[in-house]
């Protein structure tokens, strides 16, 4: 399903090939089983719908306010050994913001660079009695501009969190004919940092993803998936600050289409539901993404 070199692989790899097209629709930077290296560019745009307060209530934007966020991610993945891959993501962020009192502004720059790794202990359907299991690791480096370093009045030129982030988690997946069920759970921790002489630290974060992909035909697939993030209360000088925890639910759809074996394009819409109970201390957005990938076999 979607992988043209299945006949060239041994039995274990061929049994796992059924998941590759559907999985890449959900995670664009993931190598398909017959690929050794890929590079890509993802373009993303989002319109701010409003925000959630500390009580998880949704609030519309004030009259005269608006925000558009843009992102361009250059990424690459390299296969290591037979079951592992190492990835790099370099984001560039821009934001256009407007209020009725300050007017509009536009800012941006390099975001926080991420290095990530994946190791598949078991491929989907490799074993009849177990799902595919993968170890997920990541390190995010604070190469972006931290919020306190922003120079624009509305902070549109802030592009990073100002701290290192270390992440670890597990991915699970199982295919059923042309369908692939995929899930992942990731734990993330940021380092503390000093802001104007005061030590602060963001809370630990848990994020999860659940998706369903369908392979329409060879090289073409579609998927729906949701992601949820919870981050604990921040702390200042070692003391936890109440009501600073953050939550966010995002729903998305995507389609992936291969052009020969070397190129594929994909993209789709996403939304943070603009209703009470779906987030906390976060903005809600409606947007979409478009990705072009060049792979090397």
What is the per-residue pLDDT for 15? 34
Residue 52: alpha-carbon gap to chain centroid: 20
What is the per-residue pLDDT for 26? 61
What is the per-residue pLDDT for 206? 95
Residue 103: alpha-carbon gap to chain centroid: 31
What is the per-residue pLDDT for 2? 33
Give the domain 6-296 fold. Porin (2.40.160)
**Of 248, 246, 243, 266, nearest in space to 256 by CA:** 266
Check if the beta carbon of residue 292 is closer than 8 Å to that of residue 41: yes
Question: For residue 159, what are its two tokens?
Answer: 């592009």
Give how far Cα 207 sits from Cα of 149, 187, 204, 218, 270, Å: 27, 7, 10, 31, 17
Check if the beta carbon of residue 26 is closer than 8 Å to that of residue 212: no
Quote the pTM value: 0.85
How open is the CA angle 72-75-77, to the nearest 5 degrees? Answer: 165
Q: How far apart are CA 213 and CA 20, in angstroms?
A: 10
The domains of the chain are located at 6-296
What is the per-residue pLDDT for 280? 95
What is the per-residue pLDDT for 196? 81
pLDDT in tens, the chain (297 residues): 333 222 223 333 333 334 455 555 566 778 877 788 999 999 999 999 999 999 999 999 988 899 999 999 999 999 988 899 999 999 999 999 999 888 899 999 999 999 999 999 998 888 888 899 999 999 999 999 988 888 898 999 999 988 999 999 999 999 888 899 999 999 999 999 888 888 888 999 999 999 999 988 877 889 999 999 999 999 998 899 999 999 999 999 999 888 877 899 999 999 999 999 999 999 999 999 999 999 888
What is the per-residue pLDDT for 126? 84
Q: How far apart are CA 161 and CA 110, in angstroms?
A: 12
- Which residues, other chains included, contact 128 with Cβ-Cβ below 8 Å and sequence gap of 6+? none
What is the per-residue pLDDT for 54? 94
């Amino acid at each position: 399903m979607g992988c043209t070199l299945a006949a060239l692989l041994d039995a274990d790899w061929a049994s796992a090939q059924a998941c590759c097209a559907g999985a890449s629709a959900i995670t664009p930077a993931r190598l398909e089983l017959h690929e050794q290296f890929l590079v890509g560019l993802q373009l993303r745009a989002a319109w701010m719908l409003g925000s959630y307060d500390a009580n998880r209530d949704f609030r519309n934007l004030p009259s005269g306010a608006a925000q558009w966020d843009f992102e361009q991610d250059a990424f690459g993945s390299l296969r290591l050994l037979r079951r592992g891959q190492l990835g790099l993501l370099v984001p560039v962020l821009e934001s256009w913001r407007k209020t009725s009192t300050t007017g509009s502004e536009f800012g941006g720059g390099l975001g926080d660079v991420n290095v990530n790794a994946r190791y598949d202990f078991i491929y989907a359907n490799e074993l009849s009695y177990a799902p595919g299991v993968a170890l997920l690791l990541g390190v995010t480096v604070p190469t972006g501009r931290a919020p306190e370093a922003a120079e624009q009045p509305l902070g549109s030129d802030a592009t990073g969190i100002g701290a290192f982030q270390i992440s670890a988690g597990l991915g699970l997946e199982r295919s059923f004919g042309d369908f692939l069920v995929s899930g992942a759970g990731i734990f993330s921790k940021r380092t503390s940092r000093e802001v104007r002489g005061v030590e602060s630290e963001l809370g630990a974060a848990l994020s999860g993803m659940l998706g369903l992909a369908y392979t329409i035909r060879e090289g073409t697939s579609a998927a729906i998936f949701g992601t949820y993030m919870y981050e604990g209360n921040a702390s200042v000088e070692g003391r936890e600050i109440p009501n600073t925890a953050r939550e966010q639910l995002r729903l998305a759809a995507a389609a992936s289409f291969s052009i020969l074996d070397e190129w594929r394009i994909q993209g789709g819409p996403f939304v943070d539901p603009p209703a009470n109970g779906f987030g906390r201390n976060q903005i809600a957005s409606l947007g979409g993404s478009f990705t072009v990938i060049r792979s090397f076999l």
